[in-house]
Structure 1
Amino acid sequence: MSTSTGRRLRADAEHNIARILAAAEEVLAVDPAASLEQIGEAAGLTRATVHRRFASRQALLEALTERLNQRYLSALDQSKAETAPPLVVLRRLTEIVFELKISHRFTMELMSARDGCRSGLSPEVEAGLEQVFVRLREAGEITATGADWCRQVYLALLHEAHELPDDAADLVAAGRSRAELVVRAVVGALGGAPSPVGG
Structure 2
Amino acid sequence: MTQTAKERPLRADAERTVRNILEVAERVLAEDPTASLGQIAAAAGVARTTVHRRFASREALVDAMAAHAFRQVEDAIDVARPETAPPMVALHQITANVIQVKSGWRYAVGQPRLTDPDAVAAHDRIFAKCHLLLERAQQAGLLRPDADLGWARRVYHALIEQAIIESAGGGEDAPGPDALASLVVDTLLGGLGPRG
TM-score bin (small chain)? 0.7 to 0.9
Q: Given the superposition, is the C-alpha separation of residues 11 and 146 from structure 1 closer, same or farther in structure 2, using an over 3 Å criterion?
A: same
CA distance in 2, matches of 1:161, 1:8: 36
Note the 1:120-159 alignment, pairs <5 A: 122-143=123-144, 144-159=146-161
Report how far residue 101 of structure 1 moved.
Answer: 3.2
Q: Provide the rounded CA distance (Å) in 2 between the counterparts of 1:158 and 1:16.
A: 31
Q: How far apart are 1:68 and its partner, in Å? A: 1.4
Equivalents in 2 of 1:161, 1:155: separation in Å?
10
Which stretch has the larger CA shift, 40-49 or 137-146? 137-146
Displacement of 1:102 in angstroms is 2.5
Tell me the TM-score normalised to structure 2 length. 0.79
2:162 match: 160
Q: Is the 8 A contact 2:99 2:163 kept in 1?
A: no
Q: Could you tell me which amino acid in structure 2 is paired with residue 55 of structure 1?
A: A
Query: 1:8/1:138 Cα in 2 relative to 1: closer, same or farther (>3 Å)?
Result: closer
Does the Cα contact within 8 Å between 2:73 and 2:102 map onto a contact in 1?
A: no
Instruction: Give the structure 1 partner of residue 26 of structure 2.
Output: 25
Q: Summarize the Cα distance change of 1:45–1:190 in structure 2 as closer, same or farther, 3 Å threshold.
A: same
Contact 2:77/2:97 (8 A) holds in 1 = no
Q: SS of the counterpart of 1:122?
A: helix
Alignment match of 1:184 (pick from 167, 183, 186):
186
**Uncovered stretches (5+) of structure 2, i.e. residues with no partner:** 1-7, 115-119
Counterpart of 1:192 in 2: which secondary structure?
A: coil
CA distance in 2, matches of 1:45, 1:142: 50
Q: Which has the higher contact order (CA 8 A, sep 6+)?
A: 2
Give per-residue Cα distances to partners, 1:160-192, cap 9 Å, x unaligned.
2333465xxxx99xxx92111100111122233
> What is the total number of aligned residue pairs between the two structures?
175
- Aligned residues with identical type, % of pairs: 39
Distance 2:12 2:180 in 1: 38
Q: Are 2:66 and 1:65 aligned?
A: yes
Contact 1:187 1:193 in 2 (8 A): no
CA contact (8 A) 2:159 2:184 kept: yes
Deviation at 1:78, TM superposition (A): 1.4
- TM-score normalised over the length of structure 1: 0.78
